[in-house]
């Protein structure tokens, strides 16, 4: 188990890389990438069985990013974990890059499925969980959905299937930041009470602070002990978390910090003081 303090520092660096990556790309999704940092850091550093040298390792646990637009957080995590060289991050969304605007499994090591059309990733993950279970494999499958994404009907189809077939090796996380492109989720298309809905679908449900690395780790551990039902972790988060001018603003869903002063400000909010472009030249652990 990695110490919480260390995970907090890793999370801070992941946020830094997301901001630099998106400033360099000039387009992409800031808010929903920043909100999911602790969800992924606690998973990849403390729970997931994986090997960056062998992305298709048979004994690996799987991670599926159903909210594909938040791929900057996944790419930052995969680069930090050693799946591909960190310098690839600065090619995001550019021609010939291994990092597409939404995840593509054939381009990026560590990406299990091609996602981005919302509402499909939960089914893909449930299918993988079912396939592994049918073959007697002990692997777990984790999948991160957006909260707005749960407007999609196919999410609830998958919800029925996973419970019906008792996919206790499936752990979904909902990045509950309460914002979607057009505004607050409860104003655009009300979702609450999400925990009650998933309980009614016969899932094991945890509702926790999605920025609390200890709570996230504990929820994942509880999932690993469950022997009957799929698990849904409703991770309450803040869209744009960590960057003062992005927090809780729907407008930062699909916007990026501008090169120069704006991204420098974002880094300052995260406690990084070196000129923003310097972070492209050094390794993950360099803090300036």
Partner 1 sequence: MGGIREDVHLVDYRKGVDMVPSRDGYGHGLLWLCEHDDRVVVCDADLAKSTRTIWVRDKFPEKFVDFGIAEQDMLAEAGGMSRTGLVPFVTTYGVFVAGRAWDQIRTSICYGELNVKIGGAHGGISVGPDGPTHQSLEEIPLMRVLPGMTLVVPTDAIEAKKATIWAASHEGPVYLRFGREGVPVITTEETPFTVGRAEVYRDGGDVAIIGCGPLVYEALVAADKLEKEGVDARVINCHTVKPLDVDTLLTAAKECGAIVTAEEAQVYGGLGGAVAEVISQHHPVPMRIVGIEDVFGESGSPRELLDRYGMNSDNIVSKVKEVIEMKK
The binding site for partner 1 (CB under 8 A) comprises 104-106, 112-117, 119-121, 123-132, 134-135, 137, 153-154, 157-158, 160-161, 164-165
Residue 192 CB, shortest distance to partner 1, in Å, is 23
In the complex, the smallest distance separating the C-beta of residue 262 from partner 1, rounded to whole angstroms, is: 33
Phi, psi for 231 (deg, rounded to 5) = -115, 135
H or E stretch at 172: strand 170-176
Tell me the sheet residues that pair with 174.
145, 234
Q: What is the DSSP letter of 69?
A: G
What's the closest the beta carbon of residue 115 comes to partner 1, in angstroms?
8
Tell the burial category of 256 from Cβ atoms under 10 Å away from its Cβ (0-12, 13-18, 19+).
Answer: buried
Longest dimension (CA), the chain: 54
CB-nearer residue toward partner 1: 57 or 286? 57
The three-point CA angle 167-126-148 to 5° equals 115
Of 205, 211, 268, 208, give the one whose Cα is nearest residue 238. Answer: 211
SS3 label, residue 110: coil
CB of 128 to partner 1, least distance (A): 4
Of 160 and 224, which CB lies nearer to partner 1 in the complex structure?
160
Residue 215 is inside which H or E element, if any?
A: helix 213-225
Closest to partner 1 by CB, 34 vs 124, is: 124
Instruction: Report how far Cα 28 is from the mean position of its chain's Cα atoms.
Output: 15
Q: In terms of CB distance, is 85 or 135 closer to partner 1?
A: 135
- In whole angstroms, how close is the CB of 155 to partner 1 at the nearest point? 9
The angle subtended at Cα 42 by Cα 36 and Cα 43, nearest 5°, is 90
Pick 137 or 268: Cβ nearer partner 1: 137
Of 35 and 66, CB closest to partner 1: 66
Residue 108: CB minimum distance to partner 1, A: 12
Distance from C-alpha of 282 to C-alpha of 33, rounded to nearest angstrom: 22
């Amino acid at each position: 188990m990695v110490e919480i303090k260390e995970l907090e520092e890793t999370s801070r660096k992941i946020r830094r890389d997301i901001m630099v990556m998106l400033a360099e790309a000039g387009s992409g999704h800031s808010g929903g990438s920043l909100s999911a940092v602790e969800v992924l850091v606690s998973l990849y550093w403390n729970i997931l069985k994986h090997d960056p040298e062998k992305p298709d390792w048979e004994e690996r646990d799987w991670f599926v990013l159903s909210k594909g637009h938040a791929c900057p957080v996944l790419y930052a995590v995969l680069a930090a974990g050693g799946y591909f060289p960190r310098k690839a991050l600065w090619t995001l969304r550019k021609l010939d890059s291994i990092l597409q605007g939404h995840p593509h499994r054939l381009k990026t090591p560590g990406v299990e499925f091609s996602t981005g059309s919302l509402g499909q990733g939960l089914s893909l993950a449930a299918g993988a969980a079912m396939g592994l279970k049918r073959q007697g494999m002990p692997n777990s499958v984790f999948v991160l959905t957006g909260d707005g994404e749960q407007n999609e009907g196919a999410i609830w189809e998958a919800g029925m299937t996973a419970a019906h077939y008792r996919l206790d090796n499936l752990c979904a996380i909902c990045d509950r930041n309460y914002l979607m492109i057009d505004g607050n989720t409860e104003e655009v298309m009300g979702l609450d009470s999400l925990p009650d809905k998933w309980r009614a679908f016969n899932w094991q449900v945890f509702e926790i602070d999605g920025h609390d690395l200890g709570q996230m780790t504990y929820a994942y551990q509880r999932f690993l002990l469950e022997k009957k039902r799929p698990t849904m972790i409703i991770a309450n988060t803040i869209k744009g978390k960590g960057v003062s001018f992005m927090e809780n603003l729907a407008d930062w869903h699909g916007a990026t910090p501008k090169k120069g002063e704006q991204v420098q400000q974002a880094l300052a909010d995260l406690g990084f003081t070196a000129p923003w472009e310097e972070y492209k030249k050094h390794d993950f652990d360099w803090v300036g």
